[in-house]
Amino acid sequence: MNHQRKIAVCLVSGGMDSCVCATLAAQNYQLAFFHANYGQRTQHKELACFHALADYFKASARLVVDFEHLKVIGGTSLLSNGPSVPTSPIQDNQSIPSTYVPFRNGLLLATAAAWSEVLGASRIFFGAVEQDSSGYPDCRIEFVTAMNSAIRAGTKPGNEVIIEVPLISKSKMQIVHLAQQLGAPLELTWSCYQAEEKSMWQM
């Protein structure tokens, strides 16, 4: 008997981490791709990569949401109207870098949870990386655990969606190696905060 695979919603920015997450999810799930525009400097390039990845993975559904209020709120150098993106590494490990977008991942995961409930999805794949996340508070396992609790408490009975973060404890080098092992299509991705020209994977 041919059983239809369960659905996983993948948060896909168009970058390496979300691409690797989607590659992992594709092993066991039917994929639905979710993307957010919020006025980031590389918005057009990221969106193009999102659609290229959705085509590659044959996503059964795709959703692009515009969080225009994040650009109005500001507070981050990732925005096209924000301060310059820093080019040197942070020296103080306790500092939150200017590239942190205030509670962006909370907004993305809440919206993905709403869509998951409608789709009947059982998983949300989120490419958070705690070790190399530069101290972003919404890339920590504590944050993911809290969001899972909120989803359980705030959705209808019978909803089974759980946020999965398979890269949470890995370094960027480990993620690159995993991508190579999985054959993830990194040539379709974009991992630069401030330019929309040629990707490092395409050089």
* DSSP codes, 127-181: ---STTSTT-GGGSHHHHHHHHHHHHHHS-TT---EEE-TTTT--HHHHHHHHHH
What does the DSSP 8-state code read for residue 102? Answer: T
Q: Is residue 49 part of a domain?
A: yes
CB 168 within 8 A of CB 157: no
Q: From the CB of residue 12, how many other CB atoms can be counted at a distance below 10 Å?
A: 30
Residues above pLDDT 70, as percent of the chain: 83
- Beta-carbon contacts of 193 under 8 Å, excluding residues fewer than 6 positions away, are 40, 41, 42, 77, 78, 85, 99
pLDDT 10s digits, 99-116:
888 898 999 999 999 999
- Count of structural domains, the chain: 1
Q: Is residue 59 part of a domain?
A: yes
Pick the more confident residue, 74 or 46: 46
Q: Is residue 1 part of a domain?
A: no
Distance of CA 79 to the CA centre of its chain: 17
Mean pLDDT, residues 11-16: 96
3-class DSSP assignment, residue 17: helix
Q: What is the C-alpha separation between 125 and 11, in angstroms, rounded?
A: 6
Can you give the pTM of this predicted structure? 0.86
pLDDT 10s digits, 65-96:
999 888 888 777 676 554 444 454 544 455 78
- Beta-carbon contacts of 149 under 8 Å, excluding residues fewer than 6 positions away, are none
CATH label of the domain that carries residue 197 = 3.40.50.620
Closest by CA to 78, choosing from 99, 102, 105, 108, is 99
For residue 131, pLDDT beyond 80: no
Q: Is residue 24 part of a domain?
A: yes
Q: Is residue 62 part of a domain?
A: yes
Q: Is residue 162 part of a domain?
A: yes
For residue 27, what are the domain limits? 7-84+94-202
Q: Give the largest Cα separation in the chain, rounded.
A: 57
Q: Is residue 115 part of a domain?
A: yes
